[in-house]
Structure 1
Amino acid sequence: MRKNLGVLLVGMLVNMGIGLIMPITTLYLHNQLQQKLVIAGNVLLAFSLAMVLGNLLGGWLFDNWRIKQTHYLGGAIVGLNLLLLFLFPLWPWYALFATGYGWGLGILNSAVNGYIALCQKHTPNLFTQEYWLANLGMGLATFLSGVLYAVNIRWVFGVAFLLFLLALIIIKVVFQEIKPAVDQANSKFSWRQFALLPLKFWFICCLLVIIWLGYEQWNSNVSVYMLQKGISVQKYSFLFTISTCEIVLFQPLLGIFFRPTFKNEKWRILLGSGFFAVSYLSLLHATVYPQFVLGITLLSLGDILTLTTTPATLNRFATDQNRATIQALGSTAGSLGRAVGPLFGGALIELSGFDLTFLILFAVHLLMVLLGSFILRTKSDR
């Protein structure tokens, strides 16, 4: 980890920037700016869609332009919008600047992931280490967000700006312009190459959409479900503290039980998806707090196994000409799931209720596990 500490710190700082702002967005829009919850949901949707576009643009620029300049571009857009949010935290400017923030964040995030993908060739567990630090940073930032918000909303944006500024300084000092291998230097990258990517790659992307679509129910609609059962908002928030602690404590054990091979990564992805499935099944007829603790624990195990593994697995399908774009497609799949998750879940709950919604999520995840056991099969499995 020491050799790549600068790279890992940048990933952590970027995630801390996300963790500072996103948890208080709905609260601030509804309570201080007097906007309806549906308006707050649309702002978050615009943020997620802008991040999708930023991911794709950042991946393309990283692979076809210059590495450090792509980071600077994303960081500059993020910094500008954070300064504008600091100066004008008012409606409707908040929606506009939050969307711009998402766009810059997508560019910066895909560039960071692309750089990690290049370094990961020499450090097989680098993505796992980055995900561990990112979760640690996210947990710290989520706690800090509430503290700063209680003082003044401008403190949230100011501290986030300083975090991204520090990330850019580390990028300036530590990151390098990595040239492609000699035998690939003259090969021109084209988007048509993605039509030639194997079904395994596209299946993992589809699985990420499904996983994040379900994951967002925990971030949105599960809170309503718990309140209906008479469980407080504070206890709902504490679930994510439990989840962060579980991920930070148990994720380092992955390297002990799973060597970094495609076969092991496949089983980690499928086993984790199974835990995601069972987490929704555990919510059926849940009435007491320990049942929700069990559910978030199962979700954390799915997170540890699957979401730490997919970036490294996707990187196996990349060349030095398209590593950032490959990672951007994976990030885009996750962003799409996050974007439509709250709206999809809300509509499904309105039509069929919570229990049937959780049952449907369980069935869809289980179906993806069964499909994945065939699609991700390797020669050594036969």
Structure 2
Amino acid sequence: MPRALWLLVIGMAVNVTGASFLWPLNSIYIHDHLGKSMSIAGLVLMLNSGASVAGNLFGGLLFDRIGGYRSILLGIGTTVLALLGLSVWNGWPAYVIFLIIVGFGSGIVFPSMYAMAGSVWKEGGRRAFNAIYVASNLGVAIGSALGGIVAAISFQWIFIANALMYVIFLLIAVFGYKGINTLAVNKSNRIIDKKKVDSRTHLYALLILCFGYALLWVGYCQWQATIAPYTQEIGISLKQYTYLWTINGALIVLGQPLMNKLVVHLAKTIKSQIIIGTIVFAIAFYVASEAEQFSAFAVAMMIMTIGEMLVWPAVPTVADKLAPLGREGFFQGIVNSAATGGRMIGPILGGMLVDFYGMERLFIVMIVLFLLSLFTTFIYDRKLVEKQELSAHVS
């Protein structure tokens, strides 16, 4: 990998490590320390996710206008200031205000990170996004593990540790990303006005694909939102449940290099990679629906992780290929917004399904959503293919 991509990978790992100190513990802090109901906690997390969606879209537009370097600095700076405020004022309602600002600031960062990754290693294709994806999951694993240890000492240290990690990320960005910005902007400015009609067709294709991508995230987040309490109800301990995420993280970090080699033989195109991954998601949820013991849930998690490893890096890769030069950031912003939107809707939809219809119906609905996602993947590039065939026929 190019040196510039390594800097982005390290930065992403530090970024997500910092975020992962806090996000798994938000509900606990709001409920246990601030004395609010779980409904209020859910509403606060929805506001945080909504702000992140806005940040993703804004960050994508910023990348295209002012470049990745300044966009990332703005996003990190906003997040650092909010986290420093949270370290001092973490009561109610200051906690909610700062958490919303954190969601917006961190949301600005992600589209630029992905867009820059695609710019610095064009010939790497999906491998550039695989690297960012693995770094992100490594950050989740480290941050979540350390967050539990730090929270056992004091929740106040969680806020300080989170802010400290973002300060480190800010230093990495200030001293490491300036040259990357010049490279990305120069590439973008060369053909920025090329074929605006194509840009609209490509945007429609990405929106169709990202609708299905959001549906996958709705299902994926059920493992935290509804499957987690369900495992407790059927006698699986909390410690065993946390092992499921240990399996998830270990498979991603250790198995992605092997997956990269298998994908070359199993999925000749990015589209077929997403299709296979979506089918694997559906299989994982079917296994989970029949599971009654920890071992069965572990198998379901391993299957789901394989699907995740296929789909999550592939969609940003498609966005990078579809984006006209000069609009890479905006297209990556759409991808990140779709993922965040799925995470925002998923817990509410899942909770309502379980409350009114039970877990069995939840699994059925999620599998149906995966099948709908499969359909959107099949059709998202139909207009593009028709356009290419027409151009070939005319020429």
Instruction: Return the TM-score normalized by structure 2.
Output: 0.90
**Which position in structure 1 is the counterpart of 2:173?**
171
The answer to whether the 8 Å contact 1:273/1:365 transfers is yes
**Which position in structure 1 is the counterpart of 2:56?**
55
Q: Per-residue deviation at 1:264?
A: 2.2
In structure 2, the CA distance between the partners of 1:261 and 1:231, relative to structure 1 (3 Å rule), is closer
**Which position in structure 1 is the counterpart of 2:367?**
362
**Which position in structure 1 is the counterpart of 2:77?**
76
**Which position in structure 1 is the counterpart of 2:259?**
254
**Which position in structure 2 is the counterpart of 1:141?**
143
Tell me which of 243, 250, 254 is aligned to 1:245. Answer: 250
Instruction: Please tell me whether residue 123 in structure 1 is matched to residue 129 in structure 2.
Output: no
- CA distance in 2 between counterparts of 1:295 and 1:351 reads 25
Secondary structure of 1:39 counterpart: helix
Structure with the higher helix share, 1 or 2: 2
**Which position in structure 2 is the counterpart of 1:162?**
164
In structure 2, the CA distance between the partners of 1:72 and 1:189, relative to structure 1 (3 Å rule), is farther
Secondary structure of 2:323 counterpart: coil
- CA distance in 2 between counterparts of 1:26 and 1:272 reads 30
- CA distance in 1 between counterparts of 2:259 and 2:221 reads 25
In structure 2, the CA distance between the partners of 1:89 and 1:189, relative to structure 1 (3 Å rule), is farther
Tell me which of 343, 347, 356 is aligned to 1:351. Answer: 356
Q: Per-residue deviation at 1:313?
A: 1.6
When structure 1 is superposed on structure 2, of 181-190 and 336-345 the one drifting more is 181-190
- CA distance in 1 between counterparts of 2:189 and 2:295 reads 57
- CA distance in 2 between counterparts of 1:222 and 1:134 reads 23
- CA distance in 1 between counterparts of 2:252 and 2:227 reads 20
**Which position in structure 2 is the counterpart of 1:27?**
28
- CA distance in 2 between counterparts of 1:250 and 1:220 reads 26
When structure 1 is superposed on structure 2, of 177-186 and 213-222 the one drifting more is 177-186
When structure 1 is superposed on structure 2, of 285-294 and 328-337 the one drifting more is 285-294
The answer to whether the 8 Å contact 1:269/1:309 transfers is yes
In structure 2, the CA distance between the partners of 1:182 and 1:325, relative to structure 1 (3 Å rule), is closer
- CA distance in 2 between counterparts of 1:363 and 1:8 reads 35
When structure 1 is superposed on structure 2, of 168-177 and 303-312 the one drifting more is 168-177
- CA distance in 1 between counterparts of 2:15 and 2:189 reads 34
**Which position in structure 2 is the counterpart of 1:328?**
333
The answer to whether the 8 Å contact 1:14/1:109 transfers is no
The answer to whether the 8 Å contact 1:81/1:101 transfers is yes
Q: Per-residue deviation at 1:62?
A: 0.9
- CA distance in 1 between counterparts of 2:198 and 2:74 reads 26
The answer to whether the 8 Å contact 1:262/1:313 transfers is no
Q: Per-residue deviation at 1:82?
A: 0.5
**Paired residue type of 1:234:** K
Q: Per-residue deviation at 1:182?
A: 8.2
Which digits, 9 at most, give the CA deviation of each residue in 1:331-370, with x for residues without a partner? 0000100011100111111221111110111122124324
**Which position in structure 2 is the counterpart of 1:11?**
12
Tell me which of 283, 294, 299 is aligned to 1:294. Answer: 299
- CA distance in 2 between counterparts of 1:70 and 1:31 reads 36
**Paired residue type of 1:213:** V
Instruction: Among all aligned residue pairs of Structure 1 and Structure 2, give the percentage whose two residues are the same amino acid.
Output: 26
- CA distance in 2 between counterparts of 1:337 and 1:182 reads 30
**Paired residue type of 2:202:** L
**Paired residue type of 1:330:** V
Residue ranges of structure 2 left out of the alignment (5+ in a row): 390-395
- CA distance in 1 between counterparts of 2:92 and 2:353 reads 30
**Paired residue type of 1:145:** G
The answer to whether the 8 Å contact 1:75/1:105 transfers is yes
- CA distance in 1 between counterparts of 2:170 and 2:195 reads 27
**Paired residue type of 1:229:** I
In structure 2, the CA distance between the partners of 1:60 and 1:364, relative to structure 1 (3 Å rule), is same
Moved over 4 A (4+): 260-263, 374-379
Q: Per-residue deviation at 1:162?
A: 1.8
The answer to whether the 8 Å contact 1:180/1:321 transfers is no
- CA distance in 1 between counterparts of 2:119 and 2:376 reads 30
Which digits, 9 at most, give the CA deviation of each residue in 1:163-221, with x for residues without a partner? 2112221222221232334873563998x976432654223201211011111110111
Residue ranges of structure 1 left out of the alignment (5+ in a row): none
Secondary structure of 2:81 counterpart: helix
Q: Per-residue deviation at 1:372?
A: 2.8
Aligned length: 379
- CA distance in 1 between counterparts of 2:195 and 2:104 reads 24
**Which position in structure 1 is the counterpart of 2:287?**
282
- CA distance in 2 between counterparts of 1:197 and 1:208 reads 16
In structure 2, the CA distance between the partners of 1:134 and 1:326, relative to structure 1 (3 Å rule), is same
**Which position in structure 1 is the counterpart of 2:392?**
none
Instruction: Return the TM-score normalized by structure 1.
Output: 0.92
